[in-house]
Amino acid sequence: MTRYVVRRFALAALILWVVSVAVFLLLRVAGGDPVILQQGMSATPERIAQVHKDLNLDDPYYVQYALWLKHMAVLDFGHSGVTGTEVIHEFKARLPVSFQLMLMTLGWTILVGIPFGIISAVRRNSAPDYAVRVFAVFGLSVPAFWVATLVLMIPAQNWGYAPPLNETTSIFSEPWANIRQLGPPSLVLALGSMASIMRLTRSQMLEVLRADYVRTARAKGLNERVVVVRHALRNSLVPVVTVLGLQMSGLLGGSVIIEQIFNLRGLGQFIFAAILQKDFAVAQSVVMFTAATAVLSTLAVDLLYVFLDPRIRYS
């Protein structure tokens, strides 16, 4: 087990290094001078040259990359080329919003997707099964930005209601206002993941419920709830947990459009503006944080397999 974890961490470090190289190069070969975008067309050549020097943009790429890695190693994200503020301060201010949005989205996915997938499998070819399947197809078919637009427009036009779109409130100081603000976007963001988890849970449950050991458990006279929850569900969860881990790792990146539509001051909105303005310090830092989150969540899912299925052993 220990050797496996060490190997996975080494692989994670390699993946993050490849991501760092890709992010560093793609931002610079995309075209356009970031200094002109930040300073404006009216900036003097002297001012542009000075900013180039301050941001080390005149150095060769390998020097810029080595300097960036050195700063990242000590969690020094640098200063924004647009606002001049330290990236770490803005990062800390926006991280709770994206983190809560991710947790609420994951919560919707688990609390709705898995139970309704179980109901659909247990009551196969019944009205609830058809309803779940129709909802799953709908959730996988419609784009999140379209649903988000309807969530904002329909209540506003018909009932004069819209979720707060100003400064994001804290769930600890103003819990109701916070839920009103982050509840709708988290539900919209969870729509596709809920649908996929419903379908996957249903298919896995149907396969397990036909297994010999489930028929044996029923033949012994065990309660149907015990058969479904203790025997069938646990053996169906390994692929479900795998997909949940992949979805969780992609939530930070997938929240970019939702945060823009709902005007949430999270990391998605932060990186969207940084890429448009070619703010290297912000874009590189947030992308690396997202990549690290994805890699670590994948590792956590792999280790969780042992507890879900005792037959799995790592060496």
Over residues 44-48, mean pLDDT = 74
Q: pTM for this one?
A: 0.80
Is pLDDT of 150 > 70? Answer: yes
Looking at residue 32, its pLDDT comes to: 64
Mean pLDDT of the chain: 82
- Short-list 99, 97, 117, 95, CA closest to 243: 117
Percent of the chain surpassing pLDDT 70: 89
pLDDT at 130 over 90: yes
Measured CA to CA, the distance from residue 237 to residue 229 in angstroms comes to 11
Torsions phi, psi of 44, nearest 5? -75, 155
Contacts of 139 (CB under 8 A, 6+ apart): 191, 192, 194, 195, 196, 198
Mean pLDDT score, 238-265 = 79
Q: Which residue has the higher pLDDT, 100 or 8?
A: 100
Q: Which residues pair with 79 in a beta bridge?
A: 86
The pLDDT score that the predictor gives to residue 195 is 92
What pLDDT score does 167 carry? 66
pLDDT of the residue at 236? 83
Q: Cβ distance 204 to 240 under 8 Å? A: yes
H or E, element range at 61 = helix 61-73
* Residue whose token pair is 């179980």: 118
How confident is the model over 275-312, as pLDDT tens digits?
877 788 888 888 888 888 888 888 877 777 766 666 66
Q: How confident is the model at residue 11 (pLDDT cuts 50, 70, 90)?
A: confident
State the average pLDDT over residues 85-109.
87
The predicted pLDDT at position 164 comes to 67
HSE-up of residue 131 (Cα within 13 Å, Cβ side): 6
Mean pLDDT confidence for 38-45: 68
- List the chain domain ranges: 2-73, 91-308
Residue 266 in this model has a pLDDT that exceeds 80: yes
DSSP state of 236: H
How far is it, in rounded angstroms, from Cα 293 to Cα 180? 27
Q: How far is 197 from 107, CA to CA, in rounded Å?
A: 12
The pLDDT of 197-216, averaged and rounded, is: 88
Residue 196 confidence (pLDDT): 92
Residue 110 CA to residue 193 CA, distance in Å, equals 9
Average pLDDT over residues 256-261: 83
Q: Going by C-beta distance under 8 Å and a sequence separation of 6 or more, which residues neighbour residue 126?
A: none
Say which residues have a Cβ less than 8 Å from residue 143's Cβ, sequence separation at least 6.
none
**Full DSSP string of 21-45:** HHHHHHHHHS-S-HHHHHH-TT--H
**Contact of 39 with 51, CB cutoff 8 Å:** yes
Least confident of 76-80, 125-129, 182-186, 251-255: 251-255
Choice among 41-45, 204-208, 218-222 with the minimum mean pLDDT: 41-45
The DSSP code sequence of 161-221 is -----SSPPPTTT-HHHHHHHHHHHHHHHHHHHHHHHHHHHHHHHHHHHTSHHHHHHHHTT
The pLDDT assigned to 125 comes to: 87
Query: Which of the 8 DSSP states describes residue 142?
Result: S
91-308: in CATH 1.10.3720.10? yes
**Distance between CA 126 and CA 208 in Å, rounded?**
19
Distance CA 111, CA 255 (A): 20
Q: How confident is the model at residue 246 (pLDDT cuts 50, 70, 90)?
A: confident
Q: Is the pLDDT of residue 113 over 80?
A: yes
Least confident of 1-10, 116-125, 185-194: 1-10
**How many Cα atoms within 13 Å fall on the side-chain side of residue 106?**
19
pLDDT per residue over 222-233, tens digit each? 887 888 887 788
Angle made by CA atoms 19, 25, 27, in degrees to the nearest 5: 100
pLDDT at 111: 93
Express as a percent the part of the chain with pLDDT over 90.
Answer: 12
Mean pLDDT computed over 76-82: 77
